[in-house]
Structure 1
């Protein structure tokens, strides 16, 4: 994943959408640590703790200027940052200013951030207050599970299905196709919302676990490419091989 998304030292990578944000962050973190990078793993919403971290730091309302003095991941290791653990056992994330303030704290640092929640569903559209993307983000990755395609639009398969309907015109119970996913990705109130002008925007199509799923992923990638997207990545986090880059 590190090569597919061209992640390097100094990057602030935001994952949004559904169908593999946490798995993507975990895979990328492992690869970055293997390269000797320092990794900070956090959220601007809420996430469950990951077992990958060397350390979990709960910082409360500590000023951003003091964060790096107290939290220094060693080269090749990762720390998870949050404000607190809530009653559901989730890490309450940092605000955008705190995340922005971590940029440049070390020459070999990469920051990975989950920017919205999907309740375990393969696809969603952002609600009014989502996604939460820091202004200094360098890479934004909207994620979709290819298993969302050809499913009826309801809360069994989709999170915030009302927003998907509003952006695509597909009614509740209507079948979601690749063009509908692409429309949510590319819509100004979808996953173009809040993306800094200087950030690279690279969709990831996950769960291409079978030959049939891979064909669907290629077709969706083709739609996005036809709409002018410079780079699309697709593959399966369940398989050992890295995702395939489509240029």
Structure 2
């Protein structure tokens, strides 16, 4: 395992002019917004429900005709958020995956997609109908938080802990080990579920806030690289309302 120098997040995630779908738990929205802040004329959208994000992009259009909204966007509208409907006071609905693919076809830059949900947990395994990734996706980014290591495998911090237990061959209530996180991120039933043929998977370990987190994250990254055909794992310290000048990449492990 080689540890490369930290690089800029859009480069680490191959995000320029790409359709990037984020899945997992512990940093999806923060990843979307970190990319949106640093890319030229990106679209931010979702194929599942997404919390209100009007304060994180220049413009949000609630529309059943997202292609027309892209065509009508002015220079001050980027990053442009696109959603079909407000679901309730605190969240929007997402488009179906085919519509997201159509958006990506006409978007002038990257299309950044929240493609599953995690109910604010730090770690998850996908459900039967997740993720909702368009077949034309270029990059899929499975995310987990380093903060889950050492915590019990329960629904307090883990979304669908029973599925995590099945993939990692663990028992509910067991302390989560780096190997468990790696097993889920590297699994075709976990972090790599629904990655289209031809797409690149680039896992993230987020919330690497101190050296203990970094040690756990490096162990997770090594486990992912041993188990899955991925080129690198990105360690990040993403803050949803962070300063755009401070790049969130802590380390890239290859």
Global fold match (TM > 0.5): yes
Q: Give 1:226's aligned residue.
A: 226
25, 31, 35: which one aligns with 1:24:
31
Deviation of residue 88 (structure 1)? 4.3
- 2:14 is the counterpart of 1:6: yes
| Pairs within 5 Å for 1:7-156 | 7-9=15-17, 11-32=18-39, 37-50=40-53, 51-60=55-64, 62=65, 66=68, 68-70=70-72, 72=73, 74=75, 77-106=78-107, 108-156=108-156
Q: Give 1:216's aligned residue.
A: 216
Deviation of residue 110 (structure 1)? 0.7
Deviation of residue 73 (structure 1)? 5.4
Q: Give 1:189's aligned residue.
A: 189
TM-score, normalising length: structure 2: 0.87
Shift of the 220–99 alpha-carbon distance from structure 1 to 2, 3 Å rule, reads: same
Q: Give 2:252's aligned residue.
A: 245
Report SS of the residue matched to 2:127: coil
In 1: Cα distance, 2:47 partner to 2:167 partner: 24
Give unmatched runs, 5+ long, in structure 1. none
Q: Give 2:173's aligned residue.
A: 173
Deviation of residue 77 (structure 1)? 1.6
Counterpart contact for 1:135–1:196, Cα < 8 Å: yes
Choose 51-60 or 149-158, whichever is displaced more. Answer: 51-60
Counterpart contact for 1:121–1:158, Cα < 8 Å: yes
Deviation of residue 219 (structure 1)? 1.2
In 1: Cα distance, 2:89 partner to 2:160 partner: 20
Q: CA RMSD in A?
A: 1.9
Note the alpha carbon deviations across 1:156-215, whole angstroms, 9 max, x for none.
111111221222221211121111112112222212221111111000001110111111
Report SS of the residue matched to 2:220: helix
Counterpart contact for 2:37–2:79, Cα < 8 Å: no
Report SS of the residue matched to 1:234: strand
Counterpart contact for 2:61–2:69, Cα < 8 Å: no
Counterpart contact for 2:84–2:93, Cα < 8 Å: yes
TM-score, normalising length: structure 1: 0.90
Give unmatched runs, 5+ long, in structure 2. 1-8
In 2: Cα distance, 1:241 partner to 1:105 partner: 28
Counterpart contact for 2:47–2:96, Cα < 8 Å: yes
